[in-house]
Amino acid sequence: MRVTRDSLLRIAKETVQERAYNDPDIVAAYLTGSLLTPNPMLGGTADIDLVFVHKSQPTKTREFVKLTPDFHIDISRRAKDEFKSPRELRGDPWLGYEMYDPVLLYEREKFFDFVQASLRAGFEFEQPPLMLQRCKTLLTHGRGIWMDISELETDASSKDIKKYLKSLFHAVNAIAELSGPPIQERRLLLEFPARAEAAQKQGMISAVYGLLGANRVNPDALKGWLADWKSAFQLASEKPGVDERIHPARLNYYDKAIKALLESETPLSALWPLLQTWTLSSEMLGGDHLKFWENACSDLGLMGAGFKEKVEGLDHFLDEIEITFEEIATANGLDVEPLAGL
C-alpha cells in the first residue's frame, strides 16, 4: 500500500467527518503535528495528529487508531474551556503553538477564528516578551522536575531516570522555542542542533548529548540494544497502566524511525526516542527485560554514581539556559524576573 502525505490528509478529513457526525459533543477538530510539514515521514512512518474539541470535559483524552503497521492516528481530546482565555494561550508553550497554525477540519460552533486571531493579534506571539514567557515556563517545569531527583540517596530507578529525561526534554525545548515550536520526541536530537545554532548556543548541542551519555557509546551499541528494546516495548504495551505512548500501534513508528536515524548522518540522534520509550516500557517490567535496560543505562552512565553526576550536569545546563534568557531579556529592554516558583 502506497501512503503519501496527501492520502494521510484525506484520511484525517474522513476521520473527522465520521467522528463529528456520530458525536454531537465535538464542536471542532483540527490537524496539527508533522503532517503540517512538507516531509512528515521518518523511517517511512508517520502519524496523523488530530485534536477534537468537546463541549464538556472528555473522559478519554487520547486515543490511537492503527491504520497500517507503519501509520496510525493520534487523537487528542480537549474541552472547549481550555480555549476560553486566548491571552493565556499565547504564553502556553504547547497549546499556544498547537493553536497558532493548525488546519481546521471541522467546526460546529464558531470559536476557532476568534481564538486564533487573539493568538496572532499584533504579531506579538513571536516577539521577545511572549517568546520568553513560553520558554521560561518550560524551564520552570524542567527545574521543578530536576528538584525531585536532586537529592536522591538510593540507586536510580526507571521512575527516576524517567524524571531525568522529562526534565531534560523541557530544558531542550526551552531553547528550541526561542526560534519555533517545541520539538517532539522522535525528532528531538535531529532538530535541536539547528535551534541551538539559531540561539547562538552551539555548545548546548554537545552538552545535551553528554547529558544522555551519548559520548560513552557508539551507533553499534545502540543497534545492539534494539532487539531488547523492541521486546520490552511489545510486552509493556500489553500492560495496564503503561504510559499511553507505549501503544502497539506505535511500535513501527518508533522502530523504523530509530533505525532511520541510526543510518543517518547523525546516528546518535536515535538515542533519545530509543532511551525514552525503553525507560517508559521498563517501568512495567522486571526480570531480564529490566536488566537489559539497566545494562544500557549503565553503559550511558545513568546508573550508580554516574546518575548523580548526570543530575549535577543537568543542574548546570538549566542554569546556563536561565542565564541565556536573562541576556535576551536585557538585550530587549525587558525586566529580568526569577523563574516562577523557585
Of 285, 301, 279, 271, the closest CA to residue 161 belongs to: 279
pLDDT in tens, 172-206: 999 999 999 999 999 999 999 999 999 999 999 99
Q: Across the chain, what does the average pLDDT equal? A: 94
Decide which of 166 and 120 is more confident: 166
Per-residue confidence band for 84, with pLDDT thresholds at 50, 70 and 90: confident
- Residue 226: CB atoms within 10 A of its CB come to 16
The full set of domain ranges for the chain reads: 5-123, 128-322
Cα–Cα distance measured from residue 35 to residue 46, given in angstroms and rounded to the nearest whole number: 8
> Rounded mean pLDDT of 319-328?
97
**For residue 33, what are the CA distances in angstroms to 119, 138, 165, 254, 334?**
18, 19, 22, 16, 32
Q: Spell out the long-range contacts of 110-115 with Cβ–Cβ below 8 A and sequence spacing 24 or more.
A: 111/27, 111/28, 111/80, 111/83, 112/28, 112/30, 114/86, 115/83, 115/86, 115/89
pLDDT in tens, 93-131: 999 999 998 999 999 888 888 888 888 887 789 899 999
Judge whether residue 154 has pLDDT over 90.
no
pLDDT at 1: 63
Under DSSP, is residue 165 helix (H, G, I), strand (E, B) or coil? Answer: helix
Contact assessment for residue 309 and residue 222, using Cβ atoms and an 8 Å cutoff: no
Sign of dihedral through CA atoms 253, 257, 259, 260? positive
Select from 3.30.460.10, 3.40.50.10860, 2.40.50.140, 3.40.980.10 the CATH code of 5-123. Answer: 3.30.460.10
Decide which of 294 and 116 is more confident: 294
Judge whether residue 19 has pLDDT over 50.
yes
pLDDT in tens, 211-266: 999 999 999 999 999 999 999 999 999 999 999 999 999 999 999 999 999 999 99
Q: How many residues does the chain have?
A: 342
Of 311, 330, 338, the closest CA to residue 136 belongs to: 338
Backbone phi and psi for residue 157, each to the nearest 5 degrees, phi listed first:
-100, 180
Under DSSP, is residue 71 helix (H, G, I), strand (E, B) or coil? Answer: strand
Under DSSP, is residue 190 helix (H, G, I), strand (E, B) or coil? Answer: helix
Residue 261 CB contacts under 8 Å (≥ 6 apart), including other chains? 42, 43, 190, 267, 269, 270, 273
Contact assessment for residue 324 and residue 253, using Cβ atoms and an 8 Å cutoff: no
> Rounded mean pLDDT of 130-145?
97
Q: Which amino acid is at 14?
A: E
pLDDT at 245: 96
What percent of the chain is modeled with pLDDT above 90? 87
**For residue 125, what are the CA distances in angstroms to 33, 93, 224?**
19, 11, 44
**Which is it for strands 103-107 and 71-79: parallel, antiparallel or unpaired?**
unpaired
- Residue 217: CB atoms within 10 A of its CB come to 18
The separation between the first and the last C-alpha atoms of the chain, rounded to the nearest angstrom, is 53
**For residue 340, what are the CA distances in angstroms to 90, 138, 306?**
17, 11, 30
Contact assessment for residue 210 and residue 313, using Cβ atoms and an 8 Å cutoff: yes
Judge whether residue 210 has pLDDT over 80.
yes
Judge whether residue 17 has pLDDT over 80.
yes
Question: What's the distance, CA 283 to chain centroid?
Answer: 19
